[in-house]
Structure 1
Amino acid sequence: MQELQAKVTQAQVEIIDREKFEQGIADVVAKYENYTVTAATIKDDKQVLADLRKLKKQISDERIKIKRELSQSADEFDKYIKDTSEPMDEIINKIAQDVKDFEEHQKAVRLDTVKGYIANKAAEYMLDPRIFDSKALDYIKAGDFMADGVTLKKATMKSLDDMVTFEFQNQQEYEKAKAAISGQCAEYGMTDLPYLRMLQDMSLAEVLEQIKSDYLFQKQKEEAERVRREREQQLAEQRRKEQEQAQKASDVPQVDPETGEILDGGDLSQNNQNAIRGAENEPKLYTQKMTLEVYFEDTADKDRFKAGLSQLGFEHKQNYQVSGYQRIEPLTQSELNWQCGW
């Protein structure tokens, strides 16, 4: 093929009377350099501006005309080259597309070869070969194959073997980690699902530590709830006992000490009187003992308690005694409950 050769003749532009043209520009600039627009001369000022713009346009039009004439030969040359070489461009584009299609086909063949090798290796470990699909693309370069373009190099096969083996080991470790998590959760009576999901972003040691932490926190909550319920039950039982004691105290009949008659209504039957007299004539036998700790608001409250005992048939230093009586710092009911564990 004949190479392109061309002879270029440099175009020349000669400005006639260059000095005269430059002097004309200088004269116009000097004439209007300090020109002042006034209200009285505004009409003439507008005409001066129009004349200057007309002169500028004449110069610009001539410049454009000369430039067009200079570039005409270059445009004609450019068009000639493009038109003449267009058939060759078409051939180049066709061959480039064929090369691209061939390379894509070769990549597809190499990818099938890599996937086939991975599938055989994965079958040895009972792994799903599809998990390696994205990694297979890293082994389809021409440098990974022999000169025939379809046979894997030994180094490539070794790398693929290591990849599959490493994945198998990872899955084995993952299954062991899942078993450890499930076993720990079963021991604590917890569900393992949220902790199995954590294993995707955390190590086994971190997940097990989280399980233990959650278990201890839950036990603390349960213990706090148990203590709260027990305290509520104790308070309820204490109120019940206080109500029963108050009811018994109100039900004790008031007896006239001189006549032995029951006050506020009601008569002792003759049989009951005989039973009481018979009991008074027999010696008492004590078979039970109780130590009682009582808290009073003041001395009057203490005296009222003693009077109540007396009404129930309990006399000081006869069938009960007082030990450890003392004054204490004032306590509220809630403080007393806490101190006694009620």
Structure 2
Amino acid sequence: MQELQVRVTQAQVEIIDREKFEQGINAVVTRYENYTVTAATIKEDKQVLADLRKLKKQISDERIKIKRELSQSADEFDGYIKTTSKPLDDAIDKIAQDVKEFEEHQKALRLDTVKSYIAKKSAEYMIDPRVFDGKIIEYLKATDFMADGVTLKKVTMKSLDDMVTFEYQKQQEFEQAKRMISGQCAEYGMNDQPYIRQLKELTVMEVLEQIKSDYLFEQEKQKMRQAQEERERILAAQRAKKQEQAQKSTETPKFDPETGEILEVDPIPHKELEAVRGAENAPKRYTQKMTLEIYFEDTAEKDLFKAGLTQLGFDFQRNYWVNGYRRLDQPVTQEELEAMNNRG
């Protein structure tokens, strides 16, 4: 093929009397450098601006004209080369497309070869070959195949064998780990699925430790729930006993000879009382004290008041005592109580 040979004649542009042109520009600039626009001369000012713009346009038009003449030959040359070399461009594009299609076909053949080999090897270990789909691309390079482009090299087959074997060992270890986790959960009566999912991030020993920790935590929570239920049962029994005693208050009451307090007819057994006290979280420390003077309409109302205190956690002779209890000789009305209070 004949190479392109071109003779270029450099075009030259000569500015006639360059110095005189520059002097003309400088003269105009000097004349109008400190030009001031005023209200009185605005009409003349606009004409000056128009004249200066006209001068600028004349210079610019001449520049564009000369540049167009200089670039005309370059544009003609560029168009000629593009038109003449178009068939060559078409031939290059066609061959490039054929090469691309061939390489894609070869890649597809290599992909089928690798997939077929992995499928056969996976069947020996009863492994789903799809687990290797993300790794196949690593074995599609031309250097992994013989000269024909589709036959695997021995070193490539060895690498694929090792990959399948490693996956088999990993799955066996995973199944063993699942059995260990399931056995531990079955022993503790726990669901194994959340812990099996943890194998993605933790070792089997770490998961087993987590199972044991969760089991002990649940056991402790169960003990706390049972203790709470026992406390509630004992307190409920105590309240029921108090209510029963209130219902029996119509019987002739027995008085404490020292304090005047009515003694319970059927007091809570000592062991049950100790159990109630033991059910409290911790011994209380009292920081305040208050003395009340309360008037009851009858014994039932007094017993109801005591039962209410018990429900609020105040028990007679544990965190409150009664001093000066007595029966009134004459009933006192509400008005008399208010009068007594006002006198105090």
Task: Flag the structure with larger Rg.
Answer: 1
Partner of 1:88: 88
Q: Residues 68 and 249 (structure 1 numbering): CA distance in 2 closer, same or farther, change over 3 Å?
A: closer
Q: Which residue identity does 2:66 align to in structure 1?
A: I
Instruction: Judge conservation of contact 2:178–2:196 (CA < 8 Å) in 1.
Output: yes
Q: Which residue identity does 1:178 align to in structure 2?
A: K
Partner of 1:203: 203
- State the 1:147 CA deviation: 1.2
Mapping 1:68-107, distance limit 5 Å: 68-107=68-107
Q: Which has the higher contact order (CA 8 A, sep 6+)?
A: 2
Partner of 2:52: 52
Alpha-carbon distance in 2 for matches of 1:68, 1:75? 10
Partner of 1:14: 14
Task: Please give the per-residue CA displacement for 1:186-212, whole angstroms capped at 9, x wherever unaligned.
Answer: 111111122222222222222222222
Partner of 1:232: 232
Unpaired runs of 5+ residues, structure 2, are 267-284, 290-308, 319-344
- Secondary structure, counterpart of 2:259 in structure 1: helix
Mapping 1:300-339, distance limit 5 Å: 300=259, 304-305=262-263, 334=313
| Alignment size in residue pairs | 276
Task: Please give the per-residue CA displacement for 1:205-253, whole angstroms capped at 9, x wherever unaligned.
Answer: 2222222222222222221111111111111222333444565675469
Q: Which residue identity does 1:156 align to in structure 2?
A: T
Alpha-carbon distance in 1 for matches of 2:115, 2:253? 103
Task: Please give the per-residue CA displacement for 1:91-129, whole angstroms capped at 9, x wherever unaligned.
Answer: 000000000000000000011111111111111110011
Task: Please give the per-residue CA displacement for 1:299-325, whole angstroms capped at 9, x wherever unaligned.
Answer: 4157x549x79xxxxxxxxxxxxxxxx
* TM-score, normalization by structure 1: 0.74
Alpha-carbon distance in 2 for matches of 1:116, 1:170? 22
Alpha-carbon distance in 2 for matches of 1:103, 1:253? 111
Which shows bigger deviation, 102-111 or 33-42?
33-42
Mapping 1:176-187, distance limit 5 Å: 176-187=176-187
* TM-score, normalization by structure 2: 0.74
Unpaired runs of 5+ residues, structure 1, are 255-295, 310-328
RMSD over aligned Cα, in angstroms?
2.8
Partner of 1:222: 222
Q: Which residue identity does 2:130 align to in structure 1?
A: R
- State the 1:148 CA deviation: 1.4
Partner of 1:160: 160
Partner of 1:213: 213
Alpha-carbon distance in 2 for matches of 1:298, 1:50? 128
Alpha-carbon distance in 2 for matches of 1:243, 1:58? 118
Instruction: Judge conservation of contact 2:110–2:150 (CA < 8 Å) in 1.
Output: yes
Alpha-carbon distance in 2 for matches of 1:210, 1:188? 12
